[in-house]
Structure 1
Amino acid sequence: MSLYVMKFGGSSVGNTERMQRVAKRIVEKQDEGHQCVVVVSAMGDTTDDLIDQAKLLNPDPPAREMDMLMTTGEQISMALLSMAIHQLGREAASFTGWQAGFRTESVHGKARIIDILPGRVQEALRAGKIVVVAGFQGMTEDGEITTFGRGGSDTTAVALAAAISADVCEIYTDVDGIYSTDPRIVKCATKLKEISYDEMLELASLGAAVLHPRAVEYAKHNKVRLVVRSSFNNNEGTVVKEEATMEQGVVVSGIAYDKNVARISILGVSDTPGVLAEVFGELARAEINVDIIVQSGVQNGEADFSFTVSLAECDNAVAVINNLKGHLPYREVTSEDGLVKISIVGAGMISHPGVAAQMFDVISKQGVSIKMVSTSEIKTSCVINGDKLNEVIKALHTAYNLDAEDQVFVGGPQDRR
């Protein structure tokens, strides 16, 4: 008998018909002799609808009350799914995140997990029940309800799998598994049989939306075996594990992209010690995440430097920099949108020279200029104008021998939490 944690996203439980299909799938897993713990997201567009209602009443609602509101979506899903399982003749017990033992920081909207006390979950399993847990939520030591932010249900599932020593954590979504790139752009994208934690973490951080980076990081730290598969069919998914078997000739495993990119440039800054520390320290205090940073050469005691932030944070970042001008003189600050970050990822890049050079060559042959570059041992990222994104991805996919012979993509509605 194995212990499975099964996570189903919003599109997987988007209506009563899909809820019944999920319930049947869970019962079939139990019939195979396994214990089942299920983590669910809110149904379909429930979360977005709740946000819209809140903002109609208050354009800037308090974070605490938003958490009180947002957790109700997952609670609806857990109760309905438990009822569907009971209808199939099996016992199920539903738990909120805090009933399942999730203890978190006192940060509303993006709390991190401090500890998990899964006693009630384990007790229900010992009683032969299927356990259904609301994802995305926990509680502080002071009894305040919190949420984990985007991708929080993935994190709930992986963290719970680690806490109860589950054999496998299955993430059911609207696609067959992890693909070499977005199959909506490249129809011949290859579904990967397996991928390493490090490669998956890079892809998730760089824009691949199938798994959230926090969930992958948690899985890597706790060595949780992950399987990403579709809730709409029984096809084999992609295994995420410590080290993936490298196929012959495959240096790059995947290509990711992020359209949510803006570049900010500060021109004519005095080349004195502490300037970068002050600028990026202020941005950090404003909770603005900075990605790629590039500084140009110094001329006449002045330097220029550029960095990228998410498009949503661009205006705030510019405002922070403008507030520094009184004691940190610069000639000009500019911002640019309409950009994308495109990245190649692969463990094989470590031992194969020339991979980045090939990427630059492919991009140049599409008539596209590279604005910024960032590298690590297993990835290279380029910031480019977004108007030829699809052409660049297709060209890179072919250049790194990632094209499948046949179209293999099988997907359903987009599932993002």
Structure 2
Amino acid sequence: EVIIVKDVPGVYQADPKLFKTSKIKVITADELSTLSSLGAKILHPDALSYKKKSIRARIIRHGEDLMKEGTFIDGEVKREISVSSSPLSLITIHYGDEFPAGIFECLSSYEIYGISMGSSYLGIYVKEEVSDKIAGKLLDFFPQHRIVKKDGIGMVVLKKKTPKDRPGLINKVTEILARHGINLVELSSIGREIILYVSFNDLGRVLNLLTKYG
């Protein structure tokens, strides 16, 4: 077992120095690495990149008994590529100076696969099979806004094992796709993930290229 000694007795739902929050008893190595890459200061984002699934790890506070429970870190950090199994639609709302307050409550019963923001536009990725229904609902709730829809989109999520792999990665990915004539609908990045939106018809080619060169 590896015991990691910190100035807090484990991992919390939020920074315990700023918020009154509960300690987490068990967290996956994958989730903790991602949270660290997004700003959580409990561990360096690369600290768990060499942890094997078979290794038990635990975080406790400095000065406490080593038998204290702390937070257990389960599993290992994953590197993976996943794709959407069915076509998505991008529904875009042009809201000008008036943001459509309540939009997420309006869509709470639907799965959302991505959100993008512009200076006066909000884009939402949803399943194509329900996109007409969602667009109609948005028009009913926000008749003052203009709404457009683009169908036939596929989503690819590229998750790297460690954030240090990130420098130049986005440029590398876009160069590979451009070299093979694949157009991007959109690209976004958060934590250890790069999310690509492409034509659903290109999804298989994109997966093969990223697996081969990524």
- 1:348 deviates by 1.8
**Residue 82 of structure 2 corresponds to residue 256 of structure 1:** yes
The Cα of 1:317 is off from its aligned counterpart by: 1.3
Equivalent position of 1:243 in the other structure: 76
Cα distance change of structure 1 residues 276 and 359 upon mapping to structure 2, 3 Å threshold: farther
Cα distance between partner residues in 1 of 2:133 and 2:164? 37
Whole-angstrom distance in 2 between the partners of 1:310 and 1:359: 25
> Residue 120 of structure 1 corresponds to which residue in structure 2?
none
Query: When you count helix as a share of all residues, which structure comes out higher?
Result: 1
Aligned equivalents of 1:346, 1:320: Cα separation in 2: 37
CA contact (8 A) 2:80 2:159 kept: yes
Partner of 2:106: 282
Contact preservation (8 Å) 2:128, 2:152: no
Match of 1:371 among 164, 180, 185: 185
Aligned twin of 1:406: none
1:9-408 → structure 2 map (5 Å cutoff): 197-198=30-31, 241-244=74-77, 253-260=79-86, 261-267=88-94, 269-272=95-98, 275-284=99-108, 287-297=109-119, 303-326=120-143, 329-331=144-146, 333-350=147-164, 352-400=166-214
> TM-score, normalization: structure 2?
0.59
Unaligned runs of 5+ in 1: 1-161, 163-194, 202-224, 227-240, 245-251, 298-302, 401-417
Matched AA of 1:348: T
Residue 292 of structure 1 contacts residue 372 of structure 1 at CA under 8 Å; is this kept in 2?
A: no
Whole-angstrom distance in 1 between the partners of 2:29 and 2:130: 31
Q: Give me the whole-angstrom Cα distance separating, in 1, the residues matched to 2:202 and 2:132.
A: 25
Give the share of equivalent positions with the same residue, in percent: 14
Q: CA deviation at 1:349?
A: 3.2
Summarize the Cα distance change of 1:360–1:196 in structure 2 as closer, same or farther, 3 Å threshold.
farther
* Contact 1:256-1:342 at 8 Å conserved across structures: yes
- Contact 2:100 2:142 (C-alpha < 8 Å) held by counterparts: no
In our comparison, the structure showing a higher alpha carbon Rg is 1
Structure 1 or 2: more strand by fraction:
2
RMSD over equivalenced CA pairs, Å: 3.0
Q: Which amino acid aligns with 2:103?
A: V
- What displacement does 1:278 show? 2.2
Inter-partner Cα distance in structure 2 for 1:311 and 1:399:
30
How far is 1:336 from its partner? 2.1
The 2-side partners of 1:276 and 1:365 are apart by 39
Matching residue's letter, 1:312: E
Aligned-pair distance for 1:290?
2.2
Shift in CA distance, 325/396, structure 1 to aligned 2, threshold 3 Å: same
Letter of the structure 2 residue corresponding to residue 309 of structure 1: V
Provide the C-alpha distance between the structure 1 equivalents of 2:196 and 2:130, rounded to a whole number of angstroms.
Answer: 20
Instruction: Name the CA distance, whole Å, in 2 between partners of 1:336 and 1:352.
Output: 30
Query: Cα 1:291–1:391, aligned 2, differ >3 Å: closer, same or farther?
Result: closer
Q: Which runs of 5+ in 2 are unaligned?
A: 1-25, 35-52, 55-73
Q: Is the 1:292–1:374 contact (alpha carbons within 8 Å) kept by the matching residues of 2?
A: no
3-state SS in 2 of match to 1:358: helix
Structure 1 position 384, deviation (Å): 0.6
Q: Distance in 1 between matches of 2:114 and 2:126?
A: 8
Aligned residue type for 2:82: A
Partner of 1:123: none
> How far 1:351 sits from its partner (Å)?
5.0
